[in-house]
Chain A
Amino acid sequence: MASGPVANGADPTVVVDDLHVVYRVYGAGGDKGTAATALMRVVKRQRRPSVREVHAVRGISFVINHGDAVGIIGRNGSGKSTLLQAIAGLLPPEQGCVYTSGQAALLGVNAALLDDLTGERNVVLGCLAMGMTPQETKDRYQSIVDFSGVGNFIDYPMRTYSTGMAQRLRFSIASAKNHEILMIDEALATGDANFRAKSHERIVQLRGEAGTVFLVAHNLAEIEASCNRVIWLEKGQIMRQGYDVPAIVDAYLEATGGEPRKRDKPAESEHSAAD
């Protein structure tokens, strides 16, 4: 990557050192949920059973270099999204550490912005929250709206958007800024074909400008098309990882009982067996 800001394209940008992430879930079952059972619990000094700790990431280490586009694959609940949130500094590590060369931006599937505000307000506030100045926000505003393709809906509250529209707007906002590290968590899954093509181009472009991209997707064709490196997570640990993307994807498919990929034409349904 000669065009990168660093002369040697292989400087590390993300170092994950023996990372463990634990988060708490409230309102989990295990209780009749009446005032009487709650009182008994307090009297007996028991922990609330409705608070569960989820040990989602269990000791992961890797080094990602400048210019890498890393695909993260794994079954549902294997810790993919949690790993990205920890890299972005949104979830604190329980143990270990994540080192990054700059602030990582995360585009999540349920990255709710402010649902009761209009798309227009969300664009402005999103840009300001990312640290742009009001002038930069003004300058970028039109290109963000155009890229998202939500059209007239920009004046409507975001809760009236379809899932795909909301995701398109979020992607447009987050990709408006050049991030050193960009992480995309299934953010393109519900976009239509046209938007997918546009966003794929944008990812390639961001990868060129930015340096490092992480991509979580169940669509393995997308991983193979966009990524030069892949990490396969299983129950919060790395099962396999490396630059040999097709081999790891094949091994993943074999382990999860999916059909082997035919590389001549794009396949779509191979991941359904994994879920």
Chain B
Amino acid sequence: MRERARDQGGPGTLTDDLAIPEVDPSALPDEPLAELAARYQLRPSAARPGVLAYAGQLWARRHFIVGFATARNVAMYTEARLGQLWQVLTPLLNAAVYYLIFGLILNTSRGVPNFLAFLITGIFVFNFTQRAFITTSRVMPDSLPLIRALPFPRGCLPIGYVLIELEQLVMSMLVLSVIVLGTREPLTWYWLLAIPALLMQAVFNVGMGLFLARLGAGADDFSQLMPFVVRTWMYASGVMFSIQTISSLRHHPTLTYLLQINPAAVYISLMRNAILQSQRNAWPGSKPYNAANCALYHAATKGPRLEFSAYCHGTVTMNGLWLWGIGWAIVALVVGFVFFWEAETRYGRG
């Protein structure tokens, strides 16, 4: 019956043979449709590829991801009269506001050497993660028209959004270098360590971005909550103060340790130690242990003097920071990627 149906069907029917054939060629075949589809090697249209195949698909769209991020970045300031100048002005103004409040008015420097550079480094690095978290938690609902219009691996979108923020950060880092050099920090080979530190942070943000994108795809409440979560996190990550110099933390080594190994604090510390000699030299454990000097750090009357902390035992060593940085990046990427991939076919539903 199928054979006959095939002979009579086809595009010629309309003109060659207007009479309706005995067997309607458009009728469903007798066999189950799934078997028919399997016989002709048809695949489910909403099928999810395997994890590795999915990674391959994303890699194949890398040009799209980069083009998408760059175009978005360029379009971001087209309505402003100063145009692309805002890419530099935004981080500068950010730095100025935080310096005014935390450096001059509240004076949270508490003996941190070169506080201006310390503060601005922290803000720029944290801002990367902050913006990545907030934008990726909204990316799926915001892109619903695009998702329902074109088929492409959906992971492109959160990755693209993180890339947008990375491109912004590169601009901020140029501004930062000028500020840091202006505060008389020397330009050393250690600056090269900023690159792997940034890459690790970017990988961490991509992983978390994928994770948050799926959470944000379900309910909008989540993306409403996100800014508050991120702001709390900022105050816990030593952006505008040094975690070591908080006096109330001195007798809670576990808490201090936990604060120092949280991913934001890790990436901020890595960046500070890379480009700020004053920070690198003051990092606990960076000089041989010396009880007398370490005591000076704790005993200083006018608040702790961070430069003596180098002689104390560090809660997290410099090498420890790198290991934590790599660890967080890998864990975030693997968990976030698998979590996002699991729902790949469902993002169009809204």
Q: Which residues of A contact B (CB under 8 A)?
A: 1, 8-18, 23-26, 61-63, 65, 67-69, 85-93, 97-101, 103-106, 108, 110-114, 116-117, 121, 124-126, 128-131, 133-134, 157, 228-229, 241-245, 247
Question: In the assembled complex, how far is the CB of residue B350 from the closest CB belonging to chain A, in whole angstroms?
Answer: 5
A128, B75: Cβ atoms closer than 8 Å: no
Interface of A is mostly: mixed
Given A61-B28, A97-B34, also A85-B148 (CB < 8 A): yes
Given A125-B68, A129-B150, also A12-B36 (CB < 8 A): yes
Interface centre among A17, A129, A157 (most CB of B within 10 A): A129
With a cutoff of 8 Å between Cβ atoms, the chain B residues found around residue A108 in the complex are: 148-149
B45, A98: Cβ atoms closer than 8 Å: yes
Q: Does B327 contact A (CB under 8 A)?
A: no
Q: Does B346 contact A (CB under 8 A)?
A: yes
Question: In the assembled complex, how far is the CB of residue B4 from the closest CB belonging to chain A, in whole angstroms?
Answer: 11
CA distance A212 to B139 in the complex (A): 33
Identify the closest chain B residue to A96 (Cβ). Answer: B33
Q: Which of B56-64, B111-119, B269-277 contacts A (4 or more CB under 8 A)?
A: B56-64
A89, B67: Cβ atoms closer than 8 Å: no
Identify the closest chain B residue to A105 (Cβ). Answer: B151
B44, A245: Cβ atoms closer than 8 Å: no
Given A125-B64, A228-B11, also A244-B20 (CB < 8 A): yes
Interface centre among B10, B45, B146 (most CB of A within 10 A): B45
Interface string of B7-24 (1 = CB under 8 A from A): 101110110001010001
Given A134-B63, A243-B14, also A10-B146 (CB < 8 A): no
Q: Does B349 contact A (CB under 8 A)?
A: yes
Q: Which residues of B contact A (CB under 8 A)?
A: 6-7, 9-11, 13-14, 18, 20, 24-26, 28-29, 33-34, 36-37, 40-47, 60-61, 63-64, 67-68, 71-72, 75, 78, 145-152, 156, 220, 345-346, 348-350
Question: In the assembled complex, how far is the CB of residue B5 from the closest CB belonging to chain A, in whole angstroms?
Answer: 8
CA distance A159 to B36 in the complex (A): 45
Identify the closest chain A residue to B70 (Cβ). Answer: A121
A12, B61: Cβ atoms closer than 8 Å: no
With a cutoff of 8 Å between Cβ atoms, the chain A residues found around residue B148 in the complex are: 85, 90-91, 108, 111
A245, B150: Cβ atoms closer than 8 Å: no
A12, B71: Cβ atoms closer than 8 Å: no
With a cutoff of 8 Å between Cβ atoms, the chain A residues found around residue B60 in the complex are: 131
A90, B43: Cβ atoms closer than 8 Å: no
CA distance A117 to B75 in the complex (A): 6
Select one of B40, B41, B71, B346 contacting A114, CB under 8 A. Answer: B71
Interface centre among A25, A61, A117, A133 (most CB of B within 10 A): A117
Select one of B18, B46, B61, B220 contacting A98, CB under 8 A. Answer: B46
Question: In the assembled complex, how far is the CB of residue B1 from the closest CB belonging to chain A, in whole angstroms?
Answer: 13
Identify the closest chain A residue to B9 (Cβ). Answer: A10
With a cutoff of 8 Å between Cβ atoms, the chain A residues found around residue B68 in the complex are: 114, 125
A243, B45: Cβ atoms closer than 8 Å: no
Question: In the assembled complex, how far is the CB of residue A211 from the closest CB belonging to chain B, in whole angstroms?
Answer: 11
CA distance A114 to B13 in the complex (A): 42
Question: In the assembled complex, how far is the CB of residue B246 from the closest CB belonging to chain A, in whole angstroms?
Answer: 37
CA distance A17 to B28 in the complex (A): 10
Identify the closest chain B residue to A107 (Cβ). Answer: B149
CA distance A103 to B220 in the complex (A): 30
Given A15-B37, A17-B33, A116-B75, also A89-B9 (CB < 8 A): no
Given A24-B350, A65-B9, also A114-B146 (CB < 8 A): yes
Select one of B67, B220, B346 contacting A124, CB under 8 A. Answer: B67
CA distance A126 to B152 in the complex (A): 10
A68, B349: Cβ atoms closer than 8 Å: no
Given A69-B11, A93-B46, also A111-B349 (CB < 8 A): no
Given A125-B71, A228-B11, A243-B13, also A112-B26 (CB < 8 A): no
Given A90-B151, A106-B149, also A62-B26 (CB < 8 A): yes
